[in-house]
Structure 1
Amino acid sequence: MTLTRRTGRASALKRARAVLDALEHLVGGLGTALLAFMVLAWVVLVALLCAVGVGLLLARTLPRLIRAPAERERARLSRWGPEIIAMGPAPPQVRMALADPVIRRELRWLAAHGTLGLALGGGGATLAMQAVQDVTYPLWWRVLPPEESSPNFVFWSVRNDIDALGVLFFGLLLGAAFVVLGPGMARLQAWPGRRLLVPPPDIDLSMQVARLSATRAAALDAHATELRRIERSLHDGTQNRLVAVTVLIGATRRALARDPAAAEAALAQAQDAAEAALAELRTVVRGILPPVLADRGLAGALAGLAANCAVPCRTDVDLPGRCAVSVEATAYFVTAEALTNISRHSRATNASVIGRTHGGLLSLRIEDDGVGGADAGEGSGLAGIRSRIEAHDGTLTVTSPPGGPTVLEMELPCGS
């Protein structure tokens, strides 16, 4: 019975989050749809003015205006799903823009999003706000003037508490309608952008080459940074302790003849310093490539990280084979960083690590039930995680709406 209750509560929370996400998507899409509608109206106006020659002077404004809302929509959709690569500046000349397949696809998106997307965003936001207004209506309807006491979409006049309760039940119906229809409306609103704003195959290939060059440069920078970290660790820790060992051994040699007791004490200090240097050296080595990967494999290493996490963390890692050493090391360090972030910042009560291999890819999903709001921008810990993954031509998707949950999904080519 308790298990059934927990399952029902989890299902209800999941549904509530889906509804809130749908409302946020629709409202965000409403903003870009308004921009798309205004630019679409300007495109139509300029086309009409071209018939009398005046529009030719205004046509040069079209490429940049078309590109602007399309880039905002790409950024919006990338925050809520697979990344859509930005296209950069639009062609400066109208003829070049008309010959550009990306501009033509963006024009088709303007027509779809500036009409259908605007209607879906406005309809979804209105439905949700009207539901909230009607559900709370019995609490404040008496303060309204008599001529304005009936809310929108209600076909009866409100004269007493019974009529107001009828408005409440009508609001509940509107809320149920949004719960059923909202997620589908959000997906339909995003569909033209997912279909038309992705780069064409030939452009996508050239952008992948440029992106690959950028990730290779980032990997080299990360490699140089890691070498500097190792050098600092050896210089500031292990090297200083080894210097202390040599000093103590020299003092012991000088004290052997005249003070054997002091020599014995110096030898004990030298031994302690040597053991401390050895421990620090092992720590540095584990930071380069954890021995647990070789001893227990990636599944065992991830289970060890989960066991040491400050937040209760379950693992479901099914990896029938081994990946390349560098890939497993990246997955290990990324999971370690993610679990550290969960422990420090998420205020979560539970976390999970799920790992699978499919189609030559190693997939990891790290989720927590914390407060959300994780920032994957430059300068954050997630940016470092993304750099590690992209250096292996992998992908990272971060979903962390305010209120949670936070989900990190990564895929790495499982090369051998």
Structure 2
Amino acid sequence: MTARRTRLEGLLARSRATVDALDHLVGGVGTGILALTALLWLAVVALLCLVGVGLPMAPVALRGLRVVADRERVRLSQRDPELVGPGPPPPGLRAALADPGVRGELGWVVCHSTLGLLTGVVAMSLPLAAVRDLTFPLWWRLLPPGEAEDAALNLWRVGDQRSALAVCVFAVGWTALSLLVIPGLERLQSWPGRRLLSAPPGGDLALRVAHLTATRAAALDAHAAELRRIERSLHDGTQNRIVAVTALVAAARRAVARDPASAGEILERAQGAAEQALAELRAVVRTILPPVLEDRSLADALSGLAAACPVPCTVTADLPGRCAASVEATAYFTVAEALTNVARHSGAGRVSVALSLRRDRLLVQITDDGHGGADERAGSGLVGIRRRAEAHDGTFMMTSPPGGPTTLKVSLPCGS
């Protein structure tokens, strides 16, 4: 029984890894198309440079290459440690072509527009073939007679429902092949980008220091903003309640001598004000570090947020263990702020929250089916989410096209 359960868990883990790899490969097809476009444009500019008219367009072409390469760096950073790119290329075409970063991007655009695009297409074709053969008995009669007889990879003739059902056997083979091949194809597709798009050792260190300096400044700003928020909450809420309690208790003391009957009513009002002050103080404490994370897991805490969300929300978690308390608190507040934004601004009918742990990084994804068009610069709390993530050396990504859906992804390192 234990061995069977272990095999089942291994199969489920392999299936999840395959689905994740397929999702990454599909994204690689998108950047592969961009890389192919950039390669063709570079080839046209190079040919025009031979006759002298393409020299003014060369810097523009290299900037376009940098845009496409940066998009690939962002994509690769979603699953692996952040990929830091090189600094700006030096001025002048000759100096730019001699720059190691530019030469690495040129090598990557050749590899990714061919090998990367091919691996992505092959990986996408495997599950499509499984679906095709699995559903073949439902639609094989719609095919012309000649094609229906030669279906099933031309291994046998399909002329009746029984032979059409036999084609479903191939779906099992395609599925098994997908589980075996797709994770390896994902690694093969990502390898040129990991090798060619990273900054040189010295430049990587310098850019890393600059990045950490910027995130440290953002963390200090976020910390100062959090202190101001706590101070306002205590000053405008709890402090006023306590002042009211003090005034009511003083009034009750005076009423004891003059009108003892009214003292009880005043003390009752003082007790109500004290209870309100205690409730507000507890609310402030929960915004500093939610106590629910001490008593329950992160998934359970987020399930509580989902239950309180006005928009129907589902939470799925694939977390084998606990992360550091600061990381879980950041993930909790990220989801809380995101759900608040969804309820206030998105007009969504449903929202989903997904948690997973990949290569020592906690991935949080919030997706809603609202009208989209979310913008960090609109002051909707997204800047705060970015600052929280970057303060932990994490990454923040958001896609929100007009019409939706809106997807927010946060990746946090899970060091203890």
| Pair in the same fold by TM > 0.5 | yes
Indicate the residue corresponding to 2:136 in structure 1.
137
Matched position secondary structure for 2:413 = strand
Measure, in 1, the Cα distance between the counterparts of 2:203 and 2:139: 57
Paired residues of 1:63 and 1:94 also in contact (CA < 8 A)? no
Paired residues of 1:82 and 1:397 also in contact (CA < 8 A)? no
Paired residues of 2:47 and 2:54 also in contact (CA < 8 A)? yes
Q: Structure 1: which 5+ runs fail to align?
A: 293-300, 319-326, 355-362
1:333 aligns with 2:324: no
Indicate the residue corresponding to 1:63 in structure 2.
62
Matched position secondary structure for 1:218 = helix
**Identical amino acids, percent of aligned pairs:** 49
Structure 1 residue 48 displacement after superposition: 4.4
Letter in 2 for 1:173: G
Indicate the residue corresponding to 2:159 in structure 1.
160
Indicate the residue corresponding to 1:322 in structure 2.
none
Indicate the residue corresponding to 2:225 in structure 1.
225
Count of aligned pairs: 374
Indicate the residue corresponding to 1:203 in structure 2.
203
Indicate the residue corresponding to 1:410 in structure 2.
413
The equivalences for 1:356-375 within 5 A come to: 373=367
The equivalences for 1:46-57 within 5 A come to: 46-56=45-55
1:18 aligns with 2:17: yes
Measure, in 1, the Cα distance between the counterparts of 2:331 and 2:74: 26
Measure, in 2, the Cα distance between the counterparts of 1:343 and 1:10: 32
Paired residues of 1:19 and 1:182 also in contact (CA < 8 A)? yes
Structure 1 residue 90 displacement after superposition: 6.0
Instruction: Mark the CA change 1:384 to 1:4 in structure 2 (over 3 Å): closer, same or farther.
Output: farther
Q: Cα deviations across residues 146-200 of structure 1 (Å, max 9, x unaligned)?
A: 3433678823563513654554434433332222111101111111111211222
1:304 aligns with 2:295: yes
Letter in 2 for 1:82: P
1:107 aligns with 2:98: no
Indicate the residue corresponding to 1:296 in structure 2.
none
Indicate the residue corresponding to 1:120 in structure 2.
119
Q: Cα deviations across residues 120-140 of structure 1 (Å, max 9, x unaligned)?
A: 122222333233223322322
Measure, in 1, the Cα distance between the counterparts of 2:375 and 2:383: 6
Measure, in 1, the Cα distance between the counterparts of 2:76 and 2:35: 15
Q: Cα deviations across residues 26-53 of structure 1 (Å, max 9, x unaligned)?
A: 2221222232233323434443454444
Instruction: Mark the CA change 1:251 to 1:15 in structure 2 (over 3 Å): closer, same or farther.
Output: same
The equivalences for 1:272-291 within 5 A come to: 273-274=273-274, 277=277, 280-281=280-281, 284=284, 288=288
Name whichever of 10-19 and 180-189 sits farther off. 10-19
Measure, in 1, the Cα distance between the counterparts of 2:395 and 2:187: 21
Instruction: Mark the CA change 1:150 to 1:17 in structure 2 (over 3 Å): closer, same or farther.
Output: farther
Give the structure-1-normalised TM-score.
0.71
Q: Cα deviations across residues 63-83 of structure 1 (Å, max 9, x unaligned)?
A: 023223212212222233322
Measure, in 2, the Cα distance between the counterparts of 1:45 and 1:129: 35
Paired residues of 1:149 and 1:157 also in contact (CA < 8 A)? no
Measure, in 2, the Cα distance between the counterparts of 1:234 and 1:84: 42
Query: RMSD in angstroms over aligned alpha carbons?
Result: 4.5
Instruction: Mark the CA change 1:118 to 1:388 in structure 2 (over 3 Å): closer, same or farther.
Output: closer
Instruction: Mark the CA change 1:395 to 1:270 in structure 2 (over 3 Å): closer, same or farther.
Output: same
Paired residues of 2:297 and 2:322 also in contact (CA < 8 A)? no
Paired residues of 1:134 and 1:171 also in contact (CA < 8 A)? yes
Paired residues of 1:124 and 1:182 also in contact (CA < 8 A)? yes
Indicate the residue corresponding to 1:298 in structure 2.
none
Letter in 1 for 2:219: A
Structure 1 residue 283 displacement after superposition: 5.8
The equivalences for 1:52-91 within 5 A come to: 52-56=51-55, 58-85=57-84
Measure, in 2, the Cα distance between the counterparts of 1:53 and 1:364: 50
Instruction: Mark the CA change 1:353 to 1:381 in structure 2 (over 3 Å): closer, same or farther.
Output: farther
Q: Structure 2: which 5+ runs fail to align?
A: 305-316, 341-350, 398-404
Structure 1 residue 60 displacement after superposition: 3.7
Paired residues of 1:150 and 1:156 also in contact (CA < 8 A)? no
Indicate the residue corresponding to 1:252 in structure 2.
252
Measure, in 2, the Cα distance between the counterparts of 1:331 and 1:386: 14
